Amino acid sequence: MNPRKNRLDTGLEAHPSSSLPEQLSAMRALSAGVAHEIRNPLAVIQSLVEHLAKKTEDETQKKIAEAVVSEVGRLNEVVTEFLEFTSTPPLHFEKTVVKTLIDRALAFAIHPEKHRDIIVKTHIPDDMPEVELDPAAFHQVLLNTLLNAIQAMKGSGTLEIHTSISDHHFIVQIKDTGPGIPPENQEEIFLPFVTTKRGGAGLGLAISHQIITRHGGTIFFKNSEGKGVALFIDVPRKQNRKK
């Protein structure tokens, strides 16, 4: 699927022909710029209020000033974390046992009580050869896609995970029995900020798409409305070049 339509108010539609990686990197640059601009005045506020806290003799004022310093410090941490989040760290490819990776992502995504009515079926051959990928980044993709499948099923359904391997490809299929993706949303779900969920950021699939593209792979879905989504992650078994 090649998402071209962009109805979002992100300021990115000024370049409707730009590709998804270009849009993501524009978004990253924009967010990093905003975060950076927030940090500078925060540092000024922090040092001015620290100065006031030292100067004042009034205990109440001292306490208020110290509270402001501590809250500003917290804001600073949030913004710093955000800056780290928006940067794209290089991938570190290594030979990985994908079964372990999938089991770990499942353990993260499935809550034993909250999801007790979700049946999980995994079809992963025990003798599956290792695949060369970035385990941390791939974990993030698995988690994002598993969470989407679980959230779509709203508490009950069947989650199936199939893996297959050929000479050059490794494929994971994540299948749910949720409502599927309505036709009007299908073109755009890999775009950043596209969400149909209350409180959703709409970033899970955009980030996953970027990670898989950087592996030299593809991510796509087959949708049967009313019957659920089968999401496919297809990556090369071996990396020819380091990215």
> Which residue ranges make up the site for Mg ion (CB under 5 A)?
148, 204
Q: Among residues 140 and 239, whose Cβ is nearest to Mg ion? A: 140
Q: Among residues 47 and 196, whose Cβ is nearest to ligand ATP? A: 196
| Residue of the chain from 43, 67, 119, 201 that contacts ligand ATP (CB under 6 A) | 201
Binding positions for ligand ATP, 133-162, rule CB under 6 A:
144, 148-149, 152
Tokens read off for 190: 């890999």
Give just the sign of the alpha carbon dihedral 36, 38, 42, 45.
positive
Distances (CA, A) of 93 to 73, 134, 152, 237: 36, 4, 31, 11
Q: Among residues 52 and 203, whose Cβ is nearest to ligand ATP? A: 203
User: How many residues belong to the site for ligand ATP (CB under 6 A)?
Assistant: 21
- 172's contact among Mg ion, ligand ATP, none, with CB below 5 to 8 A by partner kind, is none
Q: Are 96 and 135 in contact (CB under 8 A)?
A: yes
Binning the chain into helix, strand and coil, the percentages to the nearest 5 are 45, 20, 35
Based on the shown chain and the rule CB under 6 A, indicate whether residue 202 belongs to the binding site for ligand ATP.
yes
Residue 205 gets the label, from left (phi > 0), alpha (psi -120 to 50) or beta, of: alpha
CB of 153 to Mg ion, least distance (A): 13
Based on the shown chain and the rule CB under 6 A, indicate whether residue 181 belongs to the binding site for ligand ATP.
yes
